[in-house]
Amino acid sequence: MLWHVMLPLIVPGIVASAMFTFIVVWGALLFPLALGYSRAETISVAIANFRGYSNFEWPVMAAGSVIATIPQILFFGFIQRHLVAGLTMGSVKG
């Protein structure tokens, strides 16, 4: 009963939650920057470190930002069907 009834009903919700969690964790800057500046370097902290002493390296930061968003776009593309199903699961009766 669990595999044939419950699991197909909860998969869209779990996928939608995983997508939103992935976006929040991937883009986190404040906590890794404040708590573990040199020990825990996430991709957003690495992009923030592209600044120089007196100037910002805007082209390098822009390229790093585009590269950092590619996994989010690919992940969203793979789970888009489940995400839409999970978001609209309770909105339609019938």
Give every CB contact of residue 64 below 8 A, 6+ residues apart in sequence: 43, 46, 47, 50
If one compares 17 and 33, the residue with the highest pLDDT of the two is 17
> pLDDT tens digits for 22-79?
878 777 777 777 776 666 677 777 887 777 777 888 888 889 888 888 888 888 888 7
The predicted pLDDT at position 41 comes to: 75
The predicted pLDDT at position 86 comes to: 65
d(CA 53, CA 58): 13
Which pTM was predicted? 0.56
The predicted pLDDT at position 87 comes to: 66
The predicted pLDDT at position 91 comes to: 62
d(CA 84, CA 20): 12
Whether pLDDT at 94 is above 60: no
The predicted pLDDT at position 38 comes to: 63
